[in-house]
Structure 1
Amino acid sequence: MVEQFLSGKVAIVTGANTGIGKAIAEELAKRGAKVVVNYRSHPERTDEMISAIKAAGGEAMGAQADVTHLDQLQAVVDQAVSSYGRLDIMVNNAGLETRTSVLDTSPEDYDRVLDVNLKSAFFGTQFAAKQMIKQGGGGRIINISSVHEDWPMPNNTAYCLSKGGVRMLTRTAGVELAPHGITMVNIGPGAVDTPINASYAGNKTLLDKLDAAIPLGRMAEPQEIASVAAFVASDGASYITATSIFADGGIMQSSPGL
């Protein structure tokens, strides 16, 4: 029997009907949380997710919103509270990348990446924290960041910049929110087998090169990131805040050994 150590908790996961967000929403629900699955498009995927969660004995609901529009993001928080009575766990997961360099990133690319990856995490943190303070009892804010909050990735400059911002958001806001009993942690995945890395999965040469750079020899599965998120959301992580946890298979420490 799966231990439901999040029973009675209410969670929001943004960008949650695909990839890492989907795995996190499903894992939190499996652990007993009532989960609000935020999504921007493909409502049919969300419906399938929620049906599967409920069939497994969990509880979840969908909340369509573009998290770069702050009124819509606030509405997701309001929907969680009106439906489930409170908010205990906020997972700022929505993200994208353009894989463009500093020389060829357009203003439109820049705005899109920073709005989704950083602005939504900043105000998702603000809106969730205000609700947590209002209701009392503290809470957990989890940002799905990246190894690239600290580790350069040439030709993906705006993405790295956005994740570097998320790093300092967590460090600074985590200190500000600590007196309220709200902890804040980044989870920094390395390469994960999700649609964002489909270019590797479909190209054996690229995939072999990537796997060779990872000490564990493979990309992560989304579930391996989700299990870290469930731990961070649990009482077992009650003394971890204003920092990042990397789940990267050791890639940040890899070396050619020259």
Structure 2
Amino acid sequence: MLLEGKVVLVTGASAGIGRAVAIGCAEHGADVALNFSRDQAGADGAVAAIEALGRRAVAIQGDVADPQTARDFIDRAVDALGRIDAFVNNAGICPFHAFLDMPVETFERTMRVNLHGAYFMVQAAANRMVEQGDGGSIIAMSSISALVGGEYQTHYTPTKAGLHSLMQSAAIALGRHNIRCNSLFPGTILTDINKDDLADENKRRSMEGRVPLGRLGQPEDLIGPTVFLASDLARYVTGASLLVDGGLYVNLQ
């Protein structure tokens, strides 16, 4: 129960990593507010799972690409749950596409969701934490893609590198307020984002063969690292990053 008595906010929490992390934080005692864009059924299911654990939960719809969504989410979450102790910026998209004919809208939409949306969400969460006056934890779900390239991810990888850079700078800007800012770098995690890309059995086996732990990641693999960074166990950890990739990054040579 590392998060008992805390309130955690998670964006993009109706499915995948966000859903797993939201429920995992509730398993450790937190009340949770979930942001979601379109999947009402998925959001409702996550809320039900959290409430079944005896914790409070609220799902708030909004497109993170719209800067107004950030303030709306933070305000409504705090109205419902009383405060904010940890904020997890997870919402993101990765519409795989070749570089030379990348549509402008695909590039710009990816930037608006993954990076611009994160900036305004983190800013709104930080402002509320500063008002509360007792610190907090901000966690960005970056990616191994912040460290390595991807042929069909030229629009995506810069956003994940930008998220990590944002956490480094925010750690400096917010340290005086006892607000910690850190990044998680998931490796290849089986989610809706990559299910089509990994539908090719040969490609999937090849990817698994590059992971020292011998398997691709599951969304639940991000729970422990997130709970740690959100908890008081990480009270002196800020501006840091943690790979959660089964060893993939160190085995890429």
- The reply to whether TM is greater than 0.5 is yes
Measured in 1, the distance between the counterparts of 2:117 and 2:208 equals 31
Match of 1:133 in 2: 130
Measured in 2, the distance between the counterparts of 1:200 and 1:114 equals 21
Match of 1:67 in 2: 64
Identity %: 35
Asked whether the 8 Å contact 1:63–1:76 carries over to 2, the reply is: yes
Moved over 2 A (4+): 199-203
SS at match of 1:90: strand
SS at match of 1:6: coil
Shift of 1:154: 2.0
Match of 1:41 in 2: 38
Measured in 1, the distance between the counterparts of 2:53 and 2:33 equals 16
**TM-score normalised to structure 1 length:** 0.95
Measured in 2, the distance between the counterparts of 1:95 and 1:53 equals 22
Asked whether the 8 Å contact 1:6–1:234 carries over to 2, the reply is: yes
Equivalences for residues 153-164 of structure 1 within 5 A: 153-164=150-161
Q: Which amino acid aligns with 2:63?
A: D
Match of 1:249 in 2: 246
Measured in 2, the distance between the counterparts of 1:255 and 1:136 equals 43
SS at match of 1:61: strand
Equivalences for residues 1-258 of structure 1 within 5 A: 4-255=1-252
Shift of the 102–255 alpha-carbon distance from structure 1 to 2, 3 Å rule, reads closer
Shift of 1:100: 2.2
Measured in 2, the distance between the counterparts of 1:200 and 1:117 equals 19
Asked whether the 8 Å contact 1:193–1:222 carries over to 2, the reply is: yes
RMSD: 1.2
Measured in 1, the distance between the counterparts of 2:9 and 2:195 equals 26
Measured in 2, the distance between the counterparts of 1:113 and 1:201 equals 20
Shift of 1:44: 1.5
SS at match of 1:198: coil
Measured in 2, the distance between the counterparts of 1:212 and 1:118 equals 31
Measured in 1, the distance between the counterparts of 2:208 and 2:66 equals 37
Asked whether the 8 Å contact 1:16–1:93 carries over to 2, the reply is: yes
Asked whether the 8 Å contact 1:13–1:92 carries over to 2, the reply is: yes
Q: Which whole-Å deviations, capped at 9, do the CAs of 1:114-155 have from their partners, x for residues lacking one?
A: 111111111111101100000110000000010011111122
Measured in 1, the distance between the counterparts of 2:217 and 2:106 equals 27
The alignment covers a number of residue pairs equal to 253
Unaligned runs of 5+ in 1: none
Unaligned runs of 5+ in 2: none
Measured in 2, the distance between the counterparts of 1:178 and 1:241 equals 8
